[in-house]
Chain A
Amino acid sequence: KQEVTQIPAALSVPEGENLVLNCSFTDSAIYNLQWFRQDPGKGLTSLLLIQSSQREQTSGRLNASLDKSSGRSTLYIAASQPGDSATYLCAVVGGADGLTFGKGTHLIIQP
């Protein structure tokens, strides 16, 4: 059974810092990996989708990498802003397990 772990569980940094969120998964047989953002009381907003054949995806200040063989992905946020404060969720799609989520990283950017 696929297990997804996100580290750290919570992170608080001053505005302007670059930061890295980590995601690891136990079964490397995945179709893709997706990073989401969730604001309090809201649904999930897709940030980046990385197919299993890809190594990274970029969107604005966000860059996500995927190392399938080691079961790891990182989400890099450059020049963080208070509006980036949210919970960031990593999810992998693979085989019979479908899509499995981590518990998320709760991020606070201090103004």
Chain B
Amino acid sequence: GAGVSQSPRYKVAKRGQDVALRCDPISGHVSLFWYQQALGQGPEFLTYFQNEAQLDKSGLPSDRFFAERPEGSVSTLKIQRTQQEDSAVYLCASSLSRSSGELFFGEGSRLTVL
């Protein structure tokens, strides 16, 4: 596609529900990143994929967070048993390579947990 596409754009969940957020990166981009952005803050790293391999998940805040990219293209970030502190914008970005590639971001998925 022309850019990074994320869905849904907005999600309201009741505390305890599971949610799944989807990212469709730019075609051919090897690297895919997930970030969490709280209101008024810069994005915080969650996890990184190179093709289908999850090479870094050090930023995932708890074991309730899980990400996958099974075929090396579309990625899904899943949050189980959502808590109010999970409310944030979840941003996906892709690049041709991790070290030198320009990052392109999607519009984000805004999650509100009630």
Chain A positions within 8 Å of B, measured between CB atoms, are 4, 31-32, 34, 36, 41-46, 49, 51, 89, 91, 93, 98-104
Chain B positions within 8 Å of A, measured between CB atoms, are 4, 6, 33, 35, 40-45, 48, 56, 91, 93, 98-100, 102-108, 110
Flag if B100 contacts A98 (CB, 8 Å).
no
Q: How many A-B residue pairs have CB under 8 A?
A: 54
With both beta carbons as reference points, the residue of chain A lying nearest to B92 in the complex is identified as A43
Q: A46-B103, A101-B43 are in contact. Are A93 and B98 (CB under 8 A)?
A: yes
Which of B103, B104, B106, B108 makes the CB contact (< 8 A) with A99? B103
Chain B positions within 8 Å of A32 at CB level: 99-100
Q: A44-B91, A45-B105, A93-B98 are in contact. Are A98 and B48 (CB under 8 A)?
A: yes
The residue in A32, A49, A99 that gathers the most chain B C-beta atoms within 10 A of its C-beta is: A99
- Name 22 interchain pairs, CB-CB below 8 A, sorted by A: A4-B42, A32-B99, A34-B102, A34-B103, A36-B105, A41-B110, A42-B107, A42-B108, A43-B6, A43-B106, A43-B107, A43-B108, A44-B103, A46-B102, A89-B43, A91-B103, A98-B33, A98-B45, A98-B56, A100-B45, A101-B35, A101-B44
